[in-house]
Structure 1
């Protein structure tokens, strides 16, 4: 059983934390892949998304130019292995952590992914 628990997550709560969303088509374009490849990455827990208005979307912060944020797929797999749902993992990635400082996704953008993965690994115990 993981130590880190969250309460009920509402769409407004997640939207406030995350900010900008991309459709599968918008995410696929800079990566040079098809929207179906984005769906496959989501199925493989290498990317996460949620439905908004009947459409699957991903956080814009998951992209760094024309690539995924370094370390994102591995971190998402760790969170999945720890039993996090997609919305719980998204909330964790976008919630400020004073010990980093900032949010885990910000730390990953700043090439501090090792710190983030250590925290994600500890959540499984």
Structure 2
């Protein structure tokens, strides 16, 4: 389960940070560049999923692998934020550090 200190970005936050209209932000969800949750009310994404005013580039393929394994949006988010013993940190931290192949290899074993 994600830790409470995770910062969440709502759709208005994403519109501002990404500099994109709301319709384009919705397409980022539809095209699986981002995955969100309504666990706190309004649809929101962990701020860690955005880097340099864009969705984290390596996130989309990882989301697709996890969704193909049957994960719900909340389960995708929880897995990305939780510590992963085999890599010694959270998968999102590894993705942010450029370790896409390692994260996806582990994600594929979850199917």
Q: Report how many residues are paired.
A: 110
- Residue of structure 1 in register with 2:96 after alignment: 109
Return the alpha-carbon distance in structure 2 between the equivalents of residues 61 and 17 of structure 1.
14
Per-residue CA deviation, residues 81-105 of structure 1 (Å, 9 max, x unaligned), is 1100011111110110121120000
Residues 25, 34 of structure 1: 8 Å contact kept: no
TM-score (norm 1): 0.79
Structure 1 residues not aligned, in runs of 5+: 1-12
Q: Name 2:84's counterpart in structure 1.
A: 97
CA displacement, residues 64-122 of structure 1 (integer Å, 9 cap, x when unaligned): 12222131011001111110001111111011012112000000111111100111122
Post-superposition offset of 1:36: 2.2
Query: Which residue matches 1:82?
Result: 69
* Structure 1 runs, 4 residues or longer, greater than 6 Å off: none
* Alpha-carbon distance in structure 2 between the residues aligned to 1:32 and 1:103: 28
* Unaligned runs of at least 5 residues, structure 2: none
Name the SS of the counterpart of 1:50 in structure 2. coil
Q: CA RMSD in A?
A: 1.7
Q: What corresponds to 1:40 in structure 2?
A: 27
Q: Distance in 1 between matches of 2:4 and 2:52?
A: 21
The change in CA–CA distance for 1:123 and 1:102 in structure 2 (over 3 A counts) is same
User: TM-score w.r.t. structure 2 length?
Assistant: 0.88
